[in-house]
Amino acid sequence: MANEAKHIQRLQDRLLEVTVADDAGIAKGCILQLTDAQTGSASSADGEFFAGIASTEKVANDGMVKMGVWTKGVWDLKLTNATVAAGEPVKIAGANLVAIADDSTIPNSREVVGVALQDGAENEVIQVLVGER
């Protein structure tokens, strides 16, 4: 996997625990999508619901089916082929990628990962306040 999120500032004391598939390999910093009740997998496409950011690495077939995810904090995240301005909400837009959350996303706020803390152009890494809508 590539483009994993880089943790800048922690804003929570506890991790959210999610269920993951034993055969999944998940890198530390991977953006996870919510696939079922408290179940996550690596993000892969636009429009997925945000579950959190992997706090540790999960090795495929290691017997682990639970992992902690961060849901609040400041993170460096990579933009897709879109621009974003500071203060705009961003959503999952691919494997460890974010993009501006368009108007149709806002009512369905589970797609929103957080709020951009700086302007960014396509394929740039920007700081995002994760957990804010």
Q: How far apart are CA 88 and CA 108, in angstroms?
A: 15
Q: What is the pLDDT of residue 105?
A: 61
Domain stops at, among 55, 70, 85: 70
Domain stops at, among 26, 44, 70: 70
The percentage of the chain sitting over the pLDDT mark of 90, rounded to a whole number, equals: 73
Q: Which residues contact 32 (CB under 8 A, 6 or more apart)?
A: 18, 20, 26, 40, 41, 42, 43, 50, 51, 52, 53, 54, 69
**CATH number of domain containing 109:** 2.40.340
Q: What is the pLDDT of residue 53?
A: 96
Q: How far apart are CA 64 and CA 13, in angstroms?
A: 22
Indicate if 22 and 57 belong to the same structural domain. yes
What residues does 84 pair with on adjacent strands? 120
List, for residues 52-69, the tens digit of each pLDDT value: 999 999 999 999 999 999
